[in-house]
Amino acid sequence: MDKIYFDNAATTPLDPEVIAAMLPWMQEHHGNPSAVHGFGRTARAGIEQARRKVAELLNCAPGEIVFTSGGTEADNMALMGSVRDLGVRHIITSPVEHHAVELTAHALGHTSPAQVHWVRLEADGRPDLAHLEELLRTHPKALVSLMHANNELGTRVDLEAVGRLCRRYGALFHSDTVQTMGHYRFDLAALPVDFITASAHKFHGPKGIGFLYMRSDATLKPMILGGSQERNMRAGTENIYGIVGLAKAMEIAYRDLDEHVHHVQGLKERMKQRLKDGIPGVSFNGDSGSDSLYTVLSVNFPDDGKSEMLIYNMDIEGIACSGGSACSSGSNKGSHVMAALYPAQTGANIRFSFSKFNTPAEVDRVVEVLQRVLAVAAVKA
Of 154-162, 174-182, 297-305, 348-356: span binding ligand PLP (CB under 6 A) = 174-182
Among 124, 176, 194, 304, binds ligand PLP (CB under 6 A): 176
Instruction: Kindly state whether residue 79 participates in binding ligand PLP, applying the rule CB under 6 A.
Output: no
Q: At its nearest, how many Å lie between ligand PLP and the CB of residue 113?
A: 25
β-bridge partners, 66: 212
Q: At its nearest, how many Å lie between ligand PLP and the CB of residue 195?
A: 13
> Judged by CB, which is closer to ligand PLP: 180, or 313?
180
Among 72, 322, 328, 358, binds ligand PLP (CB under 6 A): 72
Closest by Cα among 179, 230, 200 to 64: 230
Q: At its nearest, how many Å lie between ligand PLP and the CB of residue 369?
A: 25
Among 151, 155, 285, 322, binds ligand PLP (CB under 6 A): 151
327 is catalytic: yes
Instruction: Kindly state whether residue 180 participates in binding ligand PLP, applying the rule CB under 6 A.
Output: no
Distances (CA, A) of 374 to 3, 268, 318: 19, 20, 16
Instruction: Kindly state whether residue 98 participates in binding ligand PLP, applying the rule CB under 6 A.
Output: yes
Helix (H, G, I), strand (E, B) or coil at 47: helix
β-bridge partners, 198: 211
Q: Are 60 and 213 in contact (CB under 8 A)?
A: yes
- The Cβ-side half-sphere exposure at 275, using a 13 Å CA radius, reads 24
Instruction: Kindly state whether residue 295 participates in binding ligand PLP, applying the rule CB under 6 A.
Output: no
Closest by Cα among 185, 182, 121 to 155: 121
Q: In the chain, which ranges are continuous DSSP H helix?
A: 16-27, 38-58, 71-85, 99-111, 129-138, 159-168, 229-232, 240-255, 257-278, 307-316, 336-341, 360-380
> Judged by CB, which is closer to ligand PLP: 294, or 347?
294
Q: Which residues touch 205 (CB under 8 Å, ≥6 apart)?
A: 14, 15, 18, 182, 242, 245, 246, 248, 249, 250
> Judged by CB, which is closer to ligand PLP: 18, or 367?
18
Instruction: Kindly state whether residue 214 participates in binding ligand PLP, applying the rule CB under 6 A.
Output: no
Q: Are 65 and 54 in contact (CB under 8 A)?
A: yes
Q: What DSSP character marks residue 171?
A: -
Burial class (CB in 10 A: 0-12, 13-18, 19+), 232: exposed
Instruction: Kindly state whether residue 327 participates in binding ligand PLP, applying the rule CB under 6 A.
Output: yes
Q: At its nearest, how many Å lie between ligand PLP and the CB of residue 62?
A: 21
> Judged by CB, which is closer to ligand PLP: 71, or 245?
71
Of 71-79, 215-223, 352-360, 364-372: span binding ligand PLP (CB under 6 A) = 71-79
Interface residue list for ligand PLP (CB under 6 A) = 70-72, 75, 98, 100, 147, 151, 176, 178-179, 199, 210, 325, 327
Active site residues: 327
